[in-house]
A and B are shown apart, each in its own frame.
Chain A
Amino acid sequence: MSTALVKPQNVTRSNRKWIIGYSIAGAFLYFVYQFLLNWEGLPLGIYDAINRWMPPAAVNESLVYVIMALGLNIVVGYAGLLDLGYVAFWAIGGYCAGWFMSEFFYFLKIHFFGAVPAEAPGIHINFWLVLIIGGFVCAFFGALIGAPTLRLKSDYLALVTLGFGEIIPQIFFNGENFFGFNISNGTKGIVQVDPIPVGFKDLGPFDFGWKLLIFLFLAAVMVFISLRLRRGRLGRAWLAIREDELAASMMGVPLMRTKLLSYAVGAFAGGLGGVAFATHVNGVYAERFNFAISIFLLAMVVLGGMGNVWGVILGAFVLSWVNGNGLSAFGALYNERFGTEIDFASFTFLLFGLVLILMMLFRREGLLPESRLKLVLHEGDIDEREASGKKAR
């Protein structure tokens, strides 16, 4: 046996080092950003530039996209199941927040560690609990839609998910009278959800700085879950199905059960993102849950490299930034400079379509190169190998 065969002992430790590194870098960026925004002496020009290119609301929103994209990544990136209707989970998660942390059910009065005065009507359950409820409700629906459809060939599965992603938002859109019940206020939406209690403070819609931390935390939880699952028994089974479904079944992987779990876990993240988004926009509005979001999230996963967690995060940041801010800010700059009146924001989808096609043609592994991908899988192992004088191929 050569030294390269020695089982690496330091996998988890070096894994941890990595994550600590990222956390420190992230915390640093966060403080610089917050400091600049709150610094009295900041030149007005810079303040304007930050608000034009990177306003706090957009940063927070992009983090919600990161959470959602990481969830979709489990279905599409890990298990290789094309899901064109992921927005449905976003919607269901959103309405969980709408139902359980607002005055929507004004005729009830149920409080459970909510962040509102005790006399407020409606259901007011603690945000953190609603997160978990939203996650599990979505996981349930994920399994529900998956059970009858996962037997289908992938093309048909994609069509069914597409339908699901259209139907669910439509139900909410017309939800003022859903078999006699009002489940969504229809087009009016549910306005105002409860603040997020964090012990010393209740975070309202404009506490961007604090909520950035909350969303960062949720995204970190998703990263943690994704990486841990990826390295374990279930994650390997997902990837095996993505790589070669037939061979996976011949190696003892139960296809239905494994795929169903990817749906459920992916949908769970959709629920987290949905609840988080409802607190971000302080409401739930049916018309926001459209097909475009499903495609948008898909583009993030593809751009990031199917199954590559760090790549997907990068993809989510880049695309949601381009969509939310970057493109229009760039357009404004361009129009100012050249005296044109091009509506850049209207080209968003052209751009995303182009990204999807180009990525599929030239870089199916996503933005980050393969060596990076491998690092994600086996950080410690590589260290070990290089330490033993063997070069990674």
Chain B
Amino acid sequence: MSNVLEAKNISVAFGGLLAVNSVDFDIPKRKIVSLIGPNGAGKTTLFNVLTGLYKPSVGTISYEGKDITDLPPHKIASIGIARTFQNIRLFGLMTAQENLLVAMHSKLKSGITSTILRTPKQRREESEAEDKAQYLLDYVGVGKWTYEFARNLSYGDQRRLEVARALALDPKVLLLDEPTAGMNPQETGVFIDFVRRLVSEKDISVMLIEHDMKVVMSVSERITVLDQGEKIAEGTSDQIKSNARVIEAYLGRAKEGRA
């Protein structure tokens, strides 16, 4: 099977509002796919459904062939679906290292007594986890901030730390919600190269929500376009570029905005 994740016929309603309406999509193995659409299209909501935060009113999600629609968020995370947030949500008053160790929670085994007694096993487990955390912090380029509170990091470093935290879950699927928001073009370039490297070096598939069209077009294997909760197009960057409904969705909205 070439898809690591498949979502079928997903609908999410908030009161009367259909934030996501019968959307199908899948994430192929070790590829980067993108999710685009105007503001309020339902992109973040879709991520929230995939990670178990919202349950879809209709539809099923399967991951590596298993139905995960009804799993609670922490289970979904621990079996390998990790995410970052549109507006950074780090654990501010915890160190960078601790942020990563939290994400390893489900992999670690120590209980209350072994932690209080600091048994050799617990110490070994902790020190291995710390080594892994340091490796990931270095990998994303914030290795010198191991013992700094997350909230004291610069904006760009916080974004990187969030990615490292997601990677600490050992994910198969990484959902990135506008990771380059607030970065300058050069930083964005570096970050996108990093995502490419990630996919080529690790067994990871990435789904990217991104507003910067240049980035989207250059990096994505496939692009899914949402508008007002509906999937209006899907395809390669060339197909999307010339799609009439996509152009209308973006330009039409822009005109309204100006009026």
**Residues from chain A with Cβ under 8 Å of B111 in the complex:** 234
A5 touches B134 (CB 8 A): yes
**Residues from chain A with Cβ under 8 Å of B98 in the complex:** 236, 239, 377
B112 touches A255 (CB 8 A): no
- Partner of A252 from the list B77, B90, B126, B127 (CB cut-off 8 Å) is B77
**Residues from chain B with Cβ under 8 Å of A252 in the complex:** 74, 77-78, 103, 105-106, 169
Which of A2, A236, A255, A373 has the most B CB atoms < 10 Å from its CB?
Answer: A236
Count of chain B residues near A, Cβ 8 A: 47
Give bound CA distance, A344 to B141, whole Å: 58
Give bound CA distance, A235 to B126, whole Å: 13
Which of A55-63, A81-89, A105-113, A241-249 makes up part of the contact surface? Answer: A241-249
- Partner of B126 from the list A232, A251, A254, A370 (CB cut-off 8 Å) is A232
In the complex, which residue of chain A has the Cβ closest to the Cβ of B88?
A: A247
**Residues from chain B with Cβ under 8 Å of A250 in the complex:** 51, 53, 73-74, 77, 82-83
**Residues from chain A with Cβ under 8 Å of B149 in the complex:** 370, 374
Give bound CA distance, A120 to B95, whole Å: 56
B134 → chain A closest CB, angstroms: 6
Give bound CA distance, A249 to B83, whole Å: 11
Give bound CA distance, A377 to B148, whole Å: 11
Among residues 107 to 163 in chain B, which have CB atoms less than 8 Å away from a CB atom of chain A? 108, 110-112, 115-116, 118, 122, 126-127, 130-131, 134, 138, 143-144, 146-149, 152
Residue A284 at the chain B interface, CB threshold 8 Å: no
Among residues 267 to 326 in chain A, which have CB atoms less than 8 Å away from a CB atom of chain B? 307
A7 touches B134 (CB 8 A): yes
**Residues from chain B with Cβ under 8 Å of A231 in the complex:** 115
Residue B55 at the chain A interface, CB threshold 8 Å: no
B102 touches A253 (CB 8 A): yes
A385 touches B116 (CB 8 A): no
B155 → chain A closest CB, angstroms: 16
Give bound CA distance, A5 to B106, whole Å: 25
Give bound CA distance, A239 to B106, whole Å: 16
**Residues from chain B with Cβ under 8 Å of A377 in the complex:** 95, 98
B148 touches A247 (CB 8 A): no
- Partner of A247 from the list B90, B93, B127, B138 (CB cut-off 8 Å) is B90
Residue B246 at the chain A interface, CB threshold 8 Å: no
Residue B231 at the chain A interface, CB threshold 8 Å: no
**Residues from chain A with Cβ under 8 Å of B105 in the complex:** 233, 236-237, 240, 251-253
Residue B215 at the chain A interface, CB threshold 8 Å: no
Which of A1, A2, A243, A261 has the most B CB atoms < 10 Å from its CB?
Answer: A243
A76 → chain B closest CB, angstroms: 14
Give bound CA distance, A374 to B115, whole Å: 20
Residue B233 at the chain A interface, CB threshold 8 Å: no
Give bound CA distance, A381 to B144, whole Å: 12
Residue A32 at the chain B interface, CB threshold 8 Å: no
A4 touches B112 (CB 8 A): no
Among residues 52 to 85 in chain B, which have CB atoms less than 8 Å away from a CB atom of chain A? 53, 72-74, 77-78, 82-83, 85
19 additional A-B residue pairs with CB within 8 Å, beyond A234-B115, A252-B103, A385-B147: A225-B116, A229-B115, A232-B126, A233-B101, A236-B101, A237-B102, A239-B94, A243-B92, A243-B94, A246-B53, A249-B72, A249-B77, A250-B51, A251-B165, A252-B78, A252-B105, A253-B102, A373-B93, A374-B147
Binding site for A on B (CB under 8 A): 51, 53, 72-74, 77-78, 82-83, 85, 89-95, 98, 101-103, 105-106, 108, 110-112, 115-116, 118, 122, 126-127, 130-131, 134, 138, 143-144, 146-149, 152, 165, 168-169
